[in-house]
Structure 1
Amino acid sequence: MKHINGKSNCLADYLSRPSDDPLFDVDYGLESKLPCSTSSNLPNPCQPSKNIVAYMTLRPRQKIPAPGVSSLDQDDDSSEATSCTSEDSFTTCSPLITTTPSPNVFDSNQLSHEQAQDPAISRIISQLNHSTHPDSTLSSSFIIKSGILHKFITLTPKSKRRLCVPYLPSSMIRSLLTAMHDDPFQGGHFSIDKMMSKIRPRYWWPHMKQDVHSHVQACVLCQQYNYSRQKKPGHLQPIPPVAIPFSVIGMDFCGPFAESPRENKYVLVVTDLFTHFVTAIPLPTNTADITALTLFRHIFCRFGVCSTLITDQGTHFNNNLMSALQHLLGYNHILSTPYHPQTNGVVERFNASMVVQISKLQQKHHNNWDDYLDAVVFAYNSSKHKTTQYSPFELLFGRPPKLPIDSPPQYYQFDRPSNYFVHLQKILQVYHQQAKLNIMNQQRYHKKYYDYNRRDPHYNVGDRVFTKIFAARGKLNPRYSAEPKIIVQINHPTYTVRHEPTGLEHRHHVSDLRPVTLAYVDNDSI
């Protein structure tokens, strides 16, 4: 009998395991019970596998595939095996770390043979060996050591120390690049600079950095997994202002919030893109029928039918009911590019401000955020907007709003209502012209700032690209699609791409595309 304290007693767990489960713990003196049959698939206990680097006794856990990763991308675990040995009371189970097949196909022993087959290298060797007075530039740059042509180099421009490294023949360039980038031990798929720092002190060939750059850029795994350290591609595309209130409007849902005593959970926000006048309506749900009814009652029946409505592609906006309302009233409904909220940026920006202001005012224990919604919206509409330099209220009604702190207003005396209309028309004309000019100036300023040092790639029909993955994914999953997709329609900066195996087509903004770089091909393989 052997005593085991309570914290270490895991033997009861063995009662629920199959009889052929090879999990035993050395600490409990059960190593002698591990079957070592020659007919099993386990490796010979007396001949441990050379691939095993370290061992650890583990309890098997069910593997759950990461979301968004297909079964084709999962590792094949059917080949996992356990090994055991009873000698010296040592038990080995599933290896914690195993070496993977290395893509290193570079053989430095072939250097002399391959140099002899390379015309450029053979020509230099011949000149150094047979010329009685070789070119001084040639002799100061190259030397033959042990039958191999070497090149004198300096690691940095300011370095005075010269190294002598072998001249790599063109037939071995590709194998070296593969070994120094793809091999997990030597390269590990690191950057161009790190790869150059390893190759430069060891080998030299013409246009070396260009070849290294091409190889790294063409690595499919690097294209799928690497972060982009640059600004997202694609220049800013401002919407030209129309000096007519509620001609172009944006609409979006904000929420869900905590349910208020009035059972409201969402806010439908509608913003006029010219005056920036905001209308926000609290709602209990965000269904298609509620959306269409609210838009008709609170916007179209108050301010008239717009000419253009901009929304995202949510199901509450992109449905048959909204399409029927569009055709019935005769306005243009524009759906923003998926995962590109900048298309409706004016509304999105107000949503961010509204949430912050409401959170400051609400009584947290009562969740009465909708009691303060109208006040927050009025405070916004009555404040000067940085873009237009006028308050939205003033641009819409032709006068500033009366606030409690204001002195008694000055009244204008008009003999007829038509006189007031002429006066209001003149004021609004001045306001709108100046506001339009201010909007255009702000758009030029923001575009210049946004586009600075930002690429704006243009693709053609038939180009192959990777698309960004927006679904929930693990940290070790790729950031871009596993398979390239083909561009079938262009409306820069929006592109329609097709997945060839399924034929499915989706729209993507240029900032969510990554061009497929062709694989590196050396001269001898053409």
Structure 2
Amino acid sequence: MQKDIENNTYKAIAYCSRTLTISERKWAPVQIELGAIIFSLRQFRPFIYMAEIELHTDHKPLAYLLKKADASPNLARWLIELQNYNIKIVHIAGKENLLADALSRLQNQPEEEQTELEDIAEFPVCFTLPIKDGLINEHYASVLTLRKENENYAIDIKQEQENDMEAADYIKFIKTGELPEDISPNDQEKFVLNAENLRIIGDILCHKLPNLKPRIFVPSSLRALIFDSFHSSQLGGGHMNLKKTLKKCRKYYWPRMHADILTWTRNCITCQLRHSPNPPYRAEMQMVPVNTLFAKVGLDLAGPFPLTQNGNKHVMNIICWFTKYVISVPVPDTKAMTLARAFLNNCYLKYGGCVELVTDNATAFTSEFFKDFCSMLYINKSYATPHWSQGNSVTERSFRTFHNILSKYISKDQPDFDEFLDCACFCYNTSIHTSTGETPFFLMFGRDPIFCVDQILDPSVYSPVAFTDISEFKQRLITSLRCAWEAADEANKQAQLRAKTQYDKLVRNPTVTVGDRVLLRKLCRENRNF
């Protein structure tokens, strides 16, 4: 520690020194040099705090460290601690740094056990942080009453509290017991309750709770600065959520802190641009009426999967929304012609046409070729909402079941998934569907399937029924199918109603008025950069 006597000459008036620990010896030179500065500032803090100090170092990188936009975590925390002091770092030549250099070259004494320098210190009381224009947003920019004389602000907490009307009222009440003249009778009790936990410690108004450390009362002119330091700043913010930001800000105190932090966090433009609303906005679920075979058919793709010996990499599922009957087809690629041929051969030519075909917005389905293909077959083509799987939820959900089935039969590297695809499809179609209460196979063909085990145990159960009159058989079949379809339709409606009731519990309709800022979410990014 040195004092300027006259004519820029210096004289040592105090020393502090220690050896490095084993782990500290492995640090980078700039970290060791900065650690030495932090150690000395902590030692001499009672003497130099709140004073203008000039620090001389022969390590030139330290002179530029404060100007760097990024730093390692340890250095960043120490740089924050430096803001505690009104300090100026000056580089001098090594030959001029005689006093400190002499200390480092003294003969070593027997080493004592040293404590490693901590890299976490309390956040500074006196801030010296660069402030950007437009700190939070236009609405709250007025809370910054500091004058921008240079790139940094040096803040006198005591003076700011005296200039703040709210803090001054509390100081006056603590000293004299007088209430503010303009306070209403309804607010007097609340004012007195808040003042019970306020103390004047070292001429600074603080909030003190039993068994807890005093917290500085932040005047209104500095509250936005606190929020910016703990929310927006790269040196301590990170644009964390409300809970984490509030936890940091609680190192200090001001009335209605939670409400202010909540408002500022919600109004942070950077967070709005990056994060989705939580909870998300959602409208009420709309039920889709379907009560006829192949009135509405969904089509979707899954993959790519490992290439099979048959040259297939994708799975195309075609599902009737009413019966939930699935047609699963392995395909080698996702070209429009390949998908159109697979749909024609496996669905249209086997089960007839459909009224409406629902797909996502994949390139193959939005191509002119596929549109012309649907027009040729008199099929109404519709598309699900982009990036919203519930628009074609019946088809999307079938893939989840198929994946569960196939994962239990195919090998680990999946080179033969297409060999088991028909088996998985048959297992799915012959199982009870929770939405209809029937098997898709029965609703499609009007009969239950015949399994191998049935033929083994009781072949007579599935013996052909003799009908002398073909029209009688047809009439019975139509009657039984109509009853099954009506029951399935009712079960479908009940299942949709249950899903709607559950979904609508979290309905949150946006309230937008003229003049509100509305953000357009871009779901498709041109690159993978942050």
With the shorter chain as reference, the TM-score category is 0.5 to 0.7
Q: SS of 1:309's equivalent?
A: strand
> Which residue, out of 476, 489, 495, partners 1:423?
476
Choose the corresponding residue for 1:464, options 518, 521, 527: 518
Shift of residue 456, structure 1, vs aligned partner: 4.9
Q: State, as a whole percentage, how many aligned pairs show the same letter.
A: 23
What corresponds to 2:268 in structure 1?
219
Q: Distance between the aligned counterparts of 2:413 and 2:174, measured in 1?
A: 89
User: Take 1:312 and 1:189, find their aligned partners in 2: how far apart are those partners?
Assistant: 35
Match of 2:220 in 1: 170
Counterpart residue number, 1:383:
431
What is the letter of the counterpart of residue 268 of structure 2?
C
CA contact (8 A) 1:152 1:164 kept: yes
Gap change, CA 1:324 and 1:215, over 3 Å in 2:
same
Shift of 1:224: 4.4
Over 3 Å counting, the alpha-carbon distance change for 1:208 and 1:262 in structure 2 is closer
Equivalent in 392, 416, 419 of residue 371 of structure 1: 419
Is contact 2:302-2:316 (8 Å) kept? yes
Gaps of 5+ in 2: 1-28, 30-56, 69-90, 98-127, 136-145, 147-152
CA contact 1:152–1:162 (8 Å) conserved in 2: no
Greater RCO (CA < 8 Å, at least 6 residues apart) = 1
The offset of 1:339, in angstroms, is 2.4
Which among 296, 303, 310 is matched to residue 262 of structure 1? 310
Deviation (angstroms), 1:275: 0.5
SS in structure 2 at match of 1:464: coil
Q: Who is 1:414 aligned against?
A: 467
Indicate the SS of the match to 2:357: strand
Question: Aligned partners of 2:230 and 2:310: how far apart in 1?
Answer: 65
Q: Which residue of 2 aligns with 1:292?
A: 340
Is 1:441 the equivalent of 2:494? yes
What is the DSSP-based 3-state SS (H/G/I as helix, E as strand, rest coil) of the residue aligned with 2:472?
Answer: helix
Identify if the C-alpha distance between structure 1 residues 115 and 413 changes in structure 2 by more than 3 Å, giving closer, same or farther.
farther
Deviation string 1:94-127 (CA, Å, 9 cap, x unpaired) is: xxxxx99566977541553564363x55566677
RMSD of aligned residue pairs (Cα, Å): 4.4
Q: Is the contact between residue 429 and residue 439 of structure 2 (CA under 8 Å) also seen in structure 1?
A: yes
Query: Larger Cα Rg: Structure 1 or Structure 2?
Result: 2
Alpha-carbon shift at residue 237 of structure 1 (Å): 3.1
The residue correspondences of 1:233-248 to structure 2 (distance < 5 A) are 233-234=281-282, 237=285, 239-248=287-296
Quote the residue 1:180 is aligned against: 230
Question: How far apart are the structure 2 equivalents of 1:217 and 1:247?
Answer: 46
Tell whether the 8 Å contact from 2:305 to 2:414 is kept in structure 1 after alignment.
no
Deviation at 1:191, TM superposition (A): 3.4
Distance 2:94 2:179 in 1: 72
Contact residue 112 and residue 148 of structure 1 kept, 8 A: no
C-alpha offsets along residues 412-468 of structure 1, whole Å, 9 cap, x if unaligned?
Answer: 443433222221121111111111222222223333444545645466798522526
**Does the C-alpha gap of structure 1 residues 361 and 224 become closer, same or farther in structure 2, counting only changes over 3 Å?**
same
SS, match of residue 276 in structure 1? coil
| Count of aligned pairs between the two proteins | 390
**Aligned residue type for 2:246:** M
> Which residue in the other structure is 2:241 paired with?
191
Q: 1:313 to 1:188 in 2, by over 3 A?
A: closer
Q: CA deviation at 1:323?
A: 1.6
Question: Would the alpha carbon gap of residues 149 and 259 (structure 1) be closer, same or farther in structure 2, given more than 3 Å must change?
Answer: closer
Measure the CA separation in 1 of the matches of 2:58 and 2:427.
Answer: 78
Residues 1:460 and 1:389: Cα distance change in structure 2 (over 3 Å): farther
Report whether the alignment pairs 1:331 with 2:379.
yes
Distance 1:152 1:188 in 2: 27
Structure 1 SS opposite 2:330 = strand
Report the Cα distance in structure 2 between the residues aligned to 1:351 and 1:364, rounded to whole angstroms: 18
Q: Does residue 360 of structure 2 align to residue 303 of structure 1? A: no
**Residue 213 and residue 330 in structure 1: after superposition, are their counterparts in 2 closer, same or farther (change >3 A)?**
same
Note if 1:342 corresponds to 2:342. no
Q: TM-score, normalised by structure 1?
A: 0.61
The secondary structure found in structure 1 opposite 2:434 is coil
Q: Which amino acid aligns with 1:204?
A: W
Matches within 5 A, 1:77-92: none
Q: Tell me, yes or no, if structure 1 residue 50 matches structure 2 residue 63.
A: yes
Report the residue type matching 1:467 in the other structure.
R
Amino acid in structure 1 at the alignment position of 2:240: F
What TM-score do the two structures reach when normalised by structure 2? 0.61
* 1:283 correspondence with 2:326: no
Name which of 391, 396, 402 aligns with 1:354. 402
Map Cα deviations across residues 59-92 of structure 1 (whole Å, 9 max, x no partner): xxxxxxxxxxxxxxxxxxxxxxxx9x9989xxxx
Deviation at 1:345, TM superposition (A): 2.1
Alpha-carbon displacement from aligned partner over 1:200-222 (angstroms, at most 9, x marks no partner): 453313x3211111112222333
CA contact (8 A) 2:161 2:167 kept: no
2:161 and 2:219 in contact (8 A); partners too:
yes
1:386-405 aligned within 5 A? 386-405=434-453
Seen in structure 2, the aligned counterparts of structure 1 residues 448 and 168 have a Cα distance that, compared at 3 Å, is same
Q: Distance in 2 between matches of 1:277 and 1:460?
A: 46
Change in CA separation of 1:364 and 1:128 when aligned onto 2, cut-off 3 Å: closer
Rate the CA distance shift 1:314–1:226 in 2: closer, same or farther, 3 A.
closer
1:250-290 deviation line (CA, Å, top 9, x unaligned): 00123333444433333322000110111122333321122
Task: Decide whether the 8 Å contact of 2:429 with 2:441 is kept in 1.
Answer: yes
